[in-house]
Chains A and B, each alone.
Chain A
Amino acid sequence: MRPPHLQPTLIAIVIVGGAFGTAAREALSLSIASIGSFPLAIFLINVVGSFALGLLLEGLVRSGADTGRRRNVRLLAGTGFLGGFTTYSALATDTDLLLRAGDIGIGILYAVGTLLVGLVAAWAGIVIAASTHRRRNNPGVGA
């Protein structure tokens, strides 16, 4: 049996999710205006995507083994959609362009702000999925 990353069906699942995630990112970045020179759309996309991926992956890990339908959901929604929805290259290049334009403060705020708020968002997603799962498995606790 080939490893997952060499199975055509699984690669196709990631491609489909990635195409929809990229389309959603582009649609949002066309409709959310920047605040001054601050790239608000990509900031929001990366923060929301980090929260959603934390929630999804932690929920899946706690619901059972990474096989069959559960793995397909992870590859379609996680690796594909949310991986394609969020982006690191735009963060890096937009930061460079801000710094080169002399917008040093905004450039640093954008890069460091995205990193920190993204980490808090991923952490919140993981913690919410973990506590939801615990409650579901211990209905008497805290009731």
Chain B
Amino acid sequence: MTPLVFLALALAGGLGAGSRFVLDGLIRSRVTSSYPLATLVINITGSFLLGLATGLTLSATLAPEVQLIVGAGFLGGYTTFSTASVESVRLVREGRYGVALVSSVGMLVGAVIASAAGLLLGGL
């Protein structure tokens, strides 16, 4: 990887994180739910888009450098695993086991299915 691609990838990750912050706030301010819906929406949409970008790259529609910057960069920064873990543990500590199961196992299954749909749509 060239230094320029690495730099672009890091900047894209920053923009991805910024997008996550804004979208998270918008969802939280509009949806009055005690379920951490924002992280679910972010991780599932991000996984779908990474599947799509990966499918397009593997079917040689997208250049590998673009895949790195958009995939590992933007979408890597946009989606987050650590927040999902901490939110699930907090739900368990509050005794809300059903919601915790959705925010852990449900999110994982949803993200894997969303990414698989993206891969298919991308031509893989």
Report A's interface with B, CB cutoff 8 A. Answer: 3-6, 10-12, 14-23, 25-26, 29-30, 46, 49-50, 52-54, 57, 75, 79-80, 82-93, 95-97, 100, 111-112, 114-115, 118-119, 121-123, 125-126
Contacts and interface: CB of A to CB of B under 8 A. Distances in A.
Nearest to B93: A126
Contacts of B26: 5
Interface residues of B, number: 58
A84 B89 contact: no
Nearest to B16: A18
A89 B86 contact: no
Given A11-B18, A18-B77, A93 B13 contact: no
Interface string B99-124: 00000110110011011101100001
B76 A87 contact: yes
18 contacts: A3-B25, A15-B18, A18-B14, A23-B6, A26-B6, A26-B13, A26-B73, A57-B86, A82-B82, A84-B13, A87-B75, A88-B79, A89-B75, A92-B43, A92-B108, A93-B47, A93-B50, A122-B88
B108 A15 contact: no
A22 B13 contact: yes
Interface string B63-99: 0000000011101111111111110111011000000
Contact of B111 (A10, A16, A80, A91): A91
A87 B108 contact: no
List 4 A-B pairs, minimum CB-CB distance, nearest first. Answer: A22-B13, A18-B17, A5-B25, A19-B14
Contact of B12 (A22, A87, A114): A22
Contact of B80 (A16, A87, A95): A87
A16 B119 CA distance: 30
